[in-house]
Amino acid sequence: MIPDTRLIVRRRGLAPLLALGLMVTTTLAGAQDINTLQIISRTASAALSCMNWQPVGTCFWLHCSWTGCRVRTSLKVGHYMPDLVVGAFPQPGQTPWVEIRNTSGAVADTAASGLIQSLSGTTQGGGDAAESRFARHHTTQRFKEADATGHPAGLLGSGVDLGGFSVICPTMANAFEPYFNSGLDAFAWRWSIPETTYPQALIPGQREIGQFPAYTWGAVYPRHGFLNQADDAKTGAVIAQRVGDIVTRSNQPHVYTRLASGGTTSRSGYRVWRPSPLRERNARTGTWQMLTPNADSSCNVFGTSDLTFAHSWGVGRTADADDRSYAWNLWRPYRCCRRRGSYITSITWTAYP
């Protein structure tokens, strides 16, 4: 029986288990491996560049007590937060984030192996073209597994304020929670059903990550693990963009946990304006920071046109041929203000993001 890939799996119960796994001493076995402390360190090194923190307006609140009612105000701030760590890698369960690999990786590996073999009798690998640098023949057909996990910064999910002023907004992501794992989404991730029939997948130029007219990156649709791309680093980036596109939207034909996007909500004593769903080449919906194999100190969107460059975007970013694993932070923009009564309205001094 083919599983219903429209199911959105809620796995919040795994988050404490994954957090517990962080207390286990780990060894970095591969050149692209990265642990939680390194993720925190590399995120902090880019925080000033990526957060883009600024005051953006004022919120007005009605506060009533036995002595009467009065209007209070609170500062409205905007900034980016690292919501997810998104990995792209050749085999199920082999995410470069070591602690996640040691906890949920084995589950994904087992799930993918069982589902794929029962449906097609094939092995779990999807056909990644990981040829050596000395190979005589090269292929542009590549395949990668992927996962998305709540960033450790989610431990600050309740927000931070100083003297009643908002400093850090609450994030919608829960630290260490698995939002997507292609091993659990093996059917849609390999056979692209039903997305191969979508107009976005059939019409050239639709939802392209690269820029017109060359489109040297790849398209968001169909959102599966395959890509015709000679540059392995670009392949990893396109896969990460596809995962971000899935998890920030509701009712997608994949197995995943949705990361809340769009609209406003009250959370931990704040009124929060949530980020819009991720969109390619649109920094207003999210930006990316490479964590491994190289650590970026700034954030950007994917899709840079490199036709006039001396070398491809992926030069200096490509993982070793025997590993081919990548990880990025997905930073998303939030706005918030501290709750000081019943919300009336807010004014914005400057558009954000």
Distance CA 300, CA 328 (A): 11
Mean pLDDT by 10 residues, the chain (353 residues): 39 44 51 93 97 96 96 96 97 93 78 67 54 46 96 80 74 96 93 94 94 90 96 97 98 97 94 97 98 97 88 90 93 96 96 95
Q: Strand 160-162 relative to strand 141-143: parallel, antiparallel, unpaired?
A: unpaired
pLDDT of residue 212: 84
Distance CA 323, CA 344 (A): 54
Q: Smallest Cα–Cα separation from 295: which of 97, 32, 94, 89?
A: 32
pLDDT of residue 321: 82
Could you please report the per-residue DSSP string of 88-154?
EESSTT--SBHHHIIIIIHHHHHHHHHHHHHHHS--S--------TT-S----EEE-EEEEEE-GGG
- CB distance 138 to 129 below 8 Å: yes
Distance CA 284, CA 116 (A): 38
Distance CA 131, CA 139 (A): 8
pLDDT of residue 78: 96
pLDDT of residue 95: 95
Give 93: exposed, middle or buried? Use CB within 10 Å, 0-12, 13-18, 19+.
buried
pLDDT of residue 158: 65
What is the distance, to the nearest Å, from the Cα of residue 23 to the centroid of all Cα atoms in its chain?
A: 24
Instruction: Report residue 96 as tokens.
Output: 């470069």
pLDDT of residue 121: 56
